[in-house]
Amino acid sequence: MTTYDIALIGFGGVNRTLAELIATRGDELSLKLGFGLRVVAITDLRLGSLVQAGGIDLAAAFRLDPGVETFAACGGSAEPDNEHVIRTCPADIICEATFTNPTDGEPAASHVRWALESGKSVCTTNKGPVALHGAELAELARRNGLGFEFEGAVMSGTPVLRFAKQLLPGLALNGFEGILNGTSNYVLGRMEEGLSFDESVREAQQRGYAEADPTADIEGYDVQLKVLILANELLGADLTLADVQRQGISALTHQVLSRAAGQGRRWKLVGSARRNPDGTVSAGVAPAALPLDHGLAGVSGANNAVSFNTDLLGPVTVSGPGAGRVETAYALLSDIIAMHGARNQVATNA
Ligand code: HSE
């Protein structure tokens, strides 16, 4: 049976959860999926780096206390040294799950580039490289015959990108609207229930929904990146970040939410794009007071939903979790499964 050696870049909530899945369910998964997974490298800002070609003792890695101990305690280094590890470690696949930088996508974009330049496929949950450098990185992967998958960049493990690319063949997608940020949706719901804004954000952080800096969730920057990814990937647009209008939810107070509820409406942060009659695509993110019978009004908690406007079926909606450690770790697993499927397809066609 094939075993893929993987390197985890970033060992916070998402990659740590993927490692936990491999440690606790690896045998069950390999029986089900037809391939095994072995972690041969980990880098992390606080823990440093560890490369062990024969497979890392994950239990020992889990026991380390970040901020107090480092991988030096397991024979590694206290320095992350990402470029050296990514370029030289013996991994087949790099799982990139460092923080999203919405301005220039770094350092994650470089992580992806270094991996693709050194013959390693990449899966990432990081919106920065995909939204801001997606076309360039996909071309680099294609040229080098490698995989570049990023299902978790939008709606965590809920398969919105693969759904639209693979399961809607022959349909024209003319636009979409969706709830694309779990944190802001959770915060709006809790504020409607009477919690303060700060308490609601704190809860979202504790549950692992929020970005390192929750401003990205609250002010719409996170949705702006996701709308950009969906518009470029699925509507064939060629937008840049500046083309996606952005407004967040920080001006919404408990009073505003209650008033809307009294009028049979619910405030949601909505990301959308539409194809114009001249073929161009307009996109944006803004709060909207939706009537309660609107398809997106009932999407609660950290759930997300995207409704695609198609020519032959009308609206087709995908909904599911949009954030969370396990949900996002599953996205990485689904990316590896997709790469395995593509590899087998190539072998079958050869
Ligand atoms: N912070 C993001 C959210 C995580 O709340 O939706 C998933 O991108």
Cα–Cα dist 115/117, whole Å:
5
Distance 304 CA to ligand 1 centre (A): 10
Pick the CATH number of 162-322 from 1.10.1040.10, 3.40.50.1390, 3.40.50.10320, 3.30.360.10: 3.30.360.10
DSSP H helical ranges for the chain: 13-33, 58-63, 82-88, 108-117, 127-143, 160-167, 182-192, 197-206, 215-218, 221-234, 254-262, 325-349
Q: Which of 222, 299, 300 to mutate to test the pocket of ligand 1 (most atoms within 8 A of CB)?
A: 222
Q: State mean pLDDT over 23-51.
A: 97
- When pLDDT is cut at 50, 70 and 90, the band that residue 349 belongs to is confident
Residue whose pair of structure tokens reads 């692992």 in the numeric block? 208
Distance 83 CA to ligand 1 centre (A): 27
Q: Which of 17, 100, 217 to mutate to test the pocket of ligand 1 (most atoms within 8 A of CB)?
A: 217
Cα dist. 117→132, 141, 142, 143, 149 in Å?
18, 8, 11, 10, 16
Q: Quote the tokens at residue 231.
A: 């518009």
State which ligand 1 atom lies nearest to the alpha carbon of 214. 1
Q: Which residues does a 6 A CB cutoff place in the pocket of ligand 1?
A: 156, 181-183, 209-211, 217, 222, 322-323
Return the DSSP state at 213.
S
Give the residue range(s) of CATH 3.30.360.10 domains in the chain.
162-322
State which ligand 1 atom lies nearest to the alpha carbon of 211. 1
Fold (topology level) of 2-156+326-349? Rossmann fold (3.40.50)
Give the residue range(s) of CATH 3.40.50.720 domains in the chain.
2-156+326-349
Residue ID of nearest Cα to ligand 1 atom 8? 323
**Terminal C-alpha separation, the chain:** 20
Nearest CA among 127, 103, 93 for reference residue 9: 93
Cα–Cα dist 86/48, whole Å:
13
8 A C-beta contact, residue 174 and residue 309: yes
Q: Which of 211, 215, 218 to mutate to test the pocket of ligand 1 (most atoms within 8 A of CB)?
A: 211
Active site residue 165: no
Q: State mean pLDDT over 55-76.
A: 96
Distance 251 CA to ligand 1 centre (A): 20
Question: Which pLDDT belongs to residue 345?
Answer: 83
Q: Is the pLDDT of residue 212 over 90?
A: no
Nearest CA among 260, 257, 247, 246 for reference residue 197: 257
Cα–Cα dist 20/323, whole Å:
18
Options 32, 120, 165, 226, the catalytic residue? 226
8 A C-beta contact, residue 233 and residue 134: yes
Q: Quote the tokens at residue 55.
A: 């497979």
Cα–Cα dist 153/232, whole Å:
13
pLDDT, tens only, 80-92: 999 999 999 999 9
Distance 303 CA to ligand 1 centre (A): 10
- When pLDDT is cut at 50, 70 and 90, the band that residue 2 belongs to is very high
State which ligand 1 atom lies nearest to the alpha carbon of 209. 5
Q: Give percent of the chain above pLDDT 70.
A: 100
- When pLDDT is cut at 50, 70 and 90, the band that residue 250 belongs to is very high
Residue ID of nearest Cα to ligand 1 atom 4? 323
- When pLDDT is cut at 50, 70 and 90, the band that residue 211 belongs to is confident
State which ligand 1 atom lies nearest to the alpha carbon of 184. 5
Distance 182 CA to ligand 1 centre (A): 5
Question: Which pLDDT belongs to residue 48?
Answer: 98
State which ligand 1 atom lies nearest to the alpha carbon of 226. 8
Q: Is the pLDDT of residue 350 over 80?
A: no
> Residue 25 contacts by C-beta under 8 Å, 6 or more apart in sequence?
none
Q: State mean pLDDT over 89-110.
A: 96
Nearest CA among 58, 45, 97 for reference residue 327: 97
Q: What is the mean pLDDT of the chain?
A: 96
Sheet holding 2-9, edge to edge: 48-51, 35-44, 2-9, 93-96, 121-124, 148-149
Q: Is the pLDDT of residue 71 over 80?
A: yes
Distance 217 CA to ligand 1 centre (A): 7
pLDDT, tens only, 294-348: 999 999 999 999 999 999 999 999 999 999 999 999 999 999 999 999 988 877 8
Q: State mean pLDDT over 51-78.
A: 96
Nearest CA among 26, 49, 51, 53 for reference residue 37: 26
Q: Is the pLDDT of residue 292 over 90?
A: yes
Q: State mean pLDDT over 160-168.
A: 96
- When pLDDT is cut at 50, 70 and 90, the band that residue 7 belongs to is very high
The 3-state secondary structure of 99-127, one letter per residue: CCCCCCCCCHHHHHHHHHHCCCEEEECCH
